[in-house]
């Protein structure tokens, strides 16, 4: 996946929890941060997350298109850069009137050194600095990359699931996230925009349209292209839905 914008440069990294504030923007790719001496490559791996919290005014719907913009313009280039270092990854999208609010998360499984490099690159992104300055993004949060707290593949799965499902699910959602990001990429490619010099507000308007087209693709094609073929993998066995009905796709 190639980035559409050249608005990448260094942004001052603030806070023990990697809270990313606003700093000057310069052209060029984000600059890798030198690793502290105490961060060593032991080969051990674990789960990490970088979370983008959006501004979500009262009495307004979530700006879901911001997830799409960040996934394609910010996260996708970093995925390209570090794809050989990341075993598994996924996106998580949510919006609820609580402390996290509208939050888009990039969750990935890798070693400590790679986790620090990936986290720094995402936080040191000039487009993100511009989005924070404009008030569209409230803040960026990430985890302490010095200590692995979730070393097992199943550690970020829902604990109420059976162990086998917990172990298998990260591979499923990795593929789902890849498919969604590729759908965004294909939708962008069809429009063939010239966005290299777009301002942050112009990019938001553009990705509002892209997100709408992707949602329409899900609405019209999701039942067969995604749900039906997922059901087929499981031999067309019925599934219990919340209404306690069996359903096939």
pLDDT of residue 32: 47
pLDDT in tens, 85-142: 999 999 999 999 999 999 999 999 999 999 999 999 999 999 999 999 999 999 999 9
pTM: 0.83
Number of H helices and number of E strands within the chain? 7, 8
Model confidence band, residue 15 (pLDDT cutoffs 50, 70, 90): very low
- What is residue 26's predicted lDDT score, i.e. its pLDDT? 27
Whether the predicted pLDDT of 4 surpasses 60: no
H helices of the chain, where? Answer: 64-70, 76-82, 112-123, 126-134, 163-191, 200-221, 229-233
Banded pLDDT at 41 (limits 50, 70, 90): low
Give the range of the structural domain holding residue 116, as residue numbers without chain letter.
Answer: 1-249
pLDDT digits (tens, 9 = 90+) for 210-240: 999 999 999 999 999 999 999 999 999 999 8
Count of the separate structural domains present in the chain: 1
CB 207 within 8 A of CB 195: no
The predicted pLDDT at position 215 comes to 97
Model pLDDT, residue 198: 81
Q: Does residue 38 register a pLDDT over 60? A: no
Q: Quick check: 181 pLDDT over 80?
A: yes
């Amino acid at each position: 996946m190639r980035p559409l914008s050249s608005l990448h440069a260094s942004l001052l990294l603030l806070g023990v929890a990697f809270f990313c504030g606003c700093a000057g923007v310069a052209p060029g790719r984000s600059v890798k941060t030198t690793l502290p001496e105490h961060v060593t490559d032991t080969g051990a791996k674990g789960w990490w997350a970088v979370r983008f919290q959006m501004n979500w005014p009262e009495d307004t719907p979530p700006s879901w298109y911001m997830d799409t913009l960040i996934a394609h313009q910010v996260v996708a280039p970093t995925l390209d850069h570090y794809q050989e270092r990341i075993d598994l990854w996924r996106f998580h999208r949510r919006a609820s009137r609580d402390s996290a609010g509208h939050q888009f998360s990039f969750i990935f499984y890798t070693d400590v050194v790679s986790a620090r490099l990936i986290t720094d690159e995402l936080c040191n992104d000039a487009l993100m600095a511009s989005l924070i300055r404009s008030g569209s993004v409230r803040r960026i949060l990430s985890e302490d990359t010095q200590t692995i707290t979730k070393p097992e593949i199943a550690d970020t799965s829902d604990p109420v699931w059976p162990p086998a499902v917990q172990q298998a699910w990260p591979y499923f959602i990795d593929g789902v996230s890849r498919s969604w990001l590729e759908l965004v990429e294909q939708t962008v490619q069809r429009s063939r925009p010239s966005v290299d010099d777009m301002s942050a507000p112009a990019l938001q308007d553009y990705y509002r349209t892209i997100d709408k087209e992707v949602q329409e693709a899900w609405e019209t094609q999701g039942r067969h292209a995604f749900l039906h073929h997922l059901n087929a993998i499981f031999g067309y066995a019925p599934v219990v839905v919340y209404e306690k009905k069996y359903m096939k796709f």
